[in-house]
């Protein structure tokens, strides 16, 4: 019985520490910019890497002269059009990376637009 009480006394702080850690899930912040070079439209950086459970905040800036472009992440329900007009060329996307895997990032308005991938580590 004494051993059990000792084990519980050790386990309790660990449980609280785990709860604190969960509440303080890290926020992974990215700035992703849409540019054009020799006709190629590119969201850069293309690859975003986070861990499962992270809160993800992506600031999208469309600097392409060709107009509105969209930023979509397959599997996460993200699909945001971003204007390119000065003063109205920024959008913010936030979500929790609750599914591990590799998810395609693309422009839902232009198939040729260079996208990338969201990598959510286990």
37 contacts 2 by C-beta, under 8 angstroms: no
Compose the 17-56 pattern: x for residues touching Cu ion by CB under 5 A, - for all others.
Answer: ----------------------------------------
Give strand pairing partners of 91. 60
Distance, first Cα to last Cα, the chain: 38
CB of 35 to Cu ion, least distance (A): 11
> Residue 16: phi, psi to the nearest 5?
-65, -40
36 contacts 64 by C-beta, under 8 angstroms: yes
58 binds Cu ion (CB under 5 A): no
65 contacts 101 by C-beta, under 8 angstroms: no
CB of 106 to Cu ion, least distance (A): 9
Compose the 68-87 pattern: x for residues touching Cu ion by CB under 5 A, - for all others.
Answer: -x------------------
CB of 84 to Cu ion, least distance (A): 10
The site for Cu ion (CB under 5 A) is made up of 69, 107, 109-110, 113
């Amino acid at each position: 019985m004494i051993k059990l009480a000792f084990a519980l006394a050790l386990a309790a702080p660990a449980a609280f520490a785990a709860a604190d850690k969960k509440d303080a899930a890290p926020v992974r912040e990215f700035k992703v910019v849409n540019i054009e070079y020799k006709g190629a439209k590119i969201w850069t950086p293309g690859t975003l890497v986070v861990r499962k459970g992270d809160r993800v905040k992506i600031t999208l800036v469309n600097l392409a002269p060709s107009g509105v472009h969209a930023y979509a992440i397959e599997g996460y329900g993200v699909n945001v059009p971003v204007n390119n007009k000065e003063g109205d060329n920024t959008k913010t996307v936030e979500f929790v990376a609750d599914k591990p895997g590799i998810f395609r990032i693309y422009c839902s308005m232009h198939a040729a637009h260079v996208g990338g991938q969201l990598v959510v580590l286990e």
